[in-house]
Amino acid sequence: MIKDLNSDQWFTGGQIAKDVASLRQHFINLKVRQSDLALVCLDNSAVYPVITQAFFEMGIIEHPVAATTPIAQLQSEFNEHEYALVVVKEELAAQITNDSKLERTSIHLTTEDNLAVFINTKLVSDREIENPTEPGEEDLALILNTSGTTGKPKRVGLTHRILNNAAHHDIESHELTEDDTTMIVMPMFHINAQVISTLSTRLSCGKIVIAQKFSASRFWQQVADNGVTWVSVVPTIISILLINDKANLIYSQLRDQIHMRFVRSSSFSLPENKFIAFQDKFDTQILEGYGMTETSSQCTINPFNAQKIGSAGKAFGTELAILVNGKYETNDTEIGEIVVRGDHVISSYIDPQPTSFQDGWFLTGDLGYLDEDGYLFVKGRSKDMINRGGEKVAPAEVQSILSQLDFIEEVAVIGMPDDLYGEAVTAVIKPKDSMADHDEMEQKLFDYAQFNLAKFEQPTQVYFVEDFPRNPTGKILRPKLKDELLSVSAGK
């Protein structure tokens, strides 16, 4: 069963199956075929897993993107690749007008009154209607974006086999059963919600409760009302729950009605004081883990009865090593690059990235070490990606957008420490006019970013500098820039 908290309605397995069948027939009538691409931009809702299941059964390759993606960015994505379908929320559907390729269709489902589906008429117009064939294990099922350092997101292709393997590792490591109910508060275009929460729960025959987004003031009421036994979150959510007065009040009132087995946390490690405070205050165990899109969810997880605070746990269903001075070390290592391989790990990107693979290992770009007991401690990233509350932001991509503002001579985007989100997306501006009003420029930047960047990509901090620290070739020294800004902040 699946519940949509937005409509406060449970949907049975029979209703879900009926919706999947209706969607399948709708796609068949639109002449969509196996291996066609489908671009999906939706808020969290019960229709999301329905769409995904219909795609899985037909062999259509789903490419979900953030619900906050601006229409211009969505249109650019569509133009770059041959998508047969575009499924979007009504707000965006209304903005797709006068398009010579995209023709809007709508379908009524139990889980969604009026789902907007656009068909690429240029691609399908000459086709005949065909009944779908069952996809193979090595066929692509999902394409997900993961940010790289070049500014252009890398496209990760996940096969049916990889997704199935990953979900079963999650089931075993989290000890999931049909008695479990998970609540999804993470965005459903993410690997976390796609596999760790949704797919693993479906395969273990549990129940799924879907929130459109995380709400601290509603969290414990939602947990109590729906018998939620576990939730996958990022450390930012744990920090918010600790300090939110309404959340704390409601928990104290509902304590006897809450039966959470655990909260799963990943992205960056919780400080020890917050880890202990959450477990003590809410009587709920935290399981910290480590994973990424390229591994179709987790690589490591802390065992239920043998956790180490500050670590990302032990490898599960994964071969894990630390690359130190050209050697693959597997125990009691120095700090080096984290490398992984396994039946849930990709061996290539859709767009070739040969430097990301070596000797059968995937090079994560993250730095860490393994202790004498095989627990992984993540110490940072060798890449420039910004980790904002679990969302990965490519600085070069944001810089490219912001540099179009006429008052900017040069811009660098970096991650600055943030107690709540881990890192804050920070724009460092060298203005064309050094005498221009900083407050006015800052507001113009925020306004521009709001309409041209996804919400998690939008800078929340802005600094102005006369120039940047550079190397002899003129390249900005990002670590030195960050250190300088930290010194300025400390001096305030």
Q: What is the pLDDT of residue 79?
A: 86
Residue 227, φ and ψ in degrees, nearest 5: 60, 35
**pTM > 0.85:** no
| Portions of the chain given CATH number 3.30.300.30 | 386-491
Q: CA-CA distance, 42 to 298, in Å (whole number)?
A: 24
Q: What is the pLDDT of residue 472?
A: 55
Residue 326, φ and ψ in degrees, nearest 5: 85, 0
Scored b (16 or more CB within 10 A) or e, 95-114 reads ebeeeeebeeeebebbbbee
Helix (H, G, I), strand (E, B) or coil at 364: strand
Q: H/E element holding 75?
A: helix 71-80
> How large is the angle between the packed helices 272-282 and 245-254, nearest 10 degrees?
40
Torsion over CA: 171, 176, 180, 183 (sign): negative
Strands (E), 42-172: 61-64, 83-88, 102-107, 115-120, 140-146, 154-159
- CATH class of the domain whose range is 2-135: alpha beta
Give the Cβ contact number of residue 159 at 10 Å.
Answer: 18
Of the candidates 187, 196, 285, the residue with the CA atom closest to the CA atom of residue 238: 285
> Which amino acid would we find at residue 108?
H
> Which amino acid would we find at residue 120?
N
Q: CA-CA distance, 417 to 424, in Å (whole number)?
A: 6
Q: CA 345 from chain center: how many Å?
A: 17
- CATH class of the domain whose range is 386-491: alpha beta
Q: CA-CA distance, 132 to 174, in Å (whole number)?
A: 35
Q: What is the pLDDT of residue 150?
A: 42
Pairing of strands 207-210, 2-4: parallel
Helix, strand, coil percentages (3-state) for the chain, rounded to 5, are 35, 30, 35
Quickly name the fold that domain 160-381 has. Answer: Rossmann fold (3.40.50)
Report whether 344 contacts 318 (CB < 8 A): yes
Of the candidates 355, 354, 359, 325, the residue with the CA atom closest to the CA atom of residue 340: 359
Q: CA-CA distance, 209 to 235, in Å (whole number)?
A: 20
Q: Which residues of the chain have pLDDT under 50?
A: 148-151
**Cα-based distances in Å from 477 to 244, 258, 362, 474:** 38, 49, 27, 9
Report whether 63 contacts 37 (CB < 8 A): yes
Q: CA 21 from chain center: how many Å?
A: 28
Place of tokens 């965005």: 187
| Portions of the chain given CATH number 3.40.50.980 | 2-135
Tokens encoding 130: 């065909």
| Portions of the chain given CATH number 3.40.50.12780 | 160-381
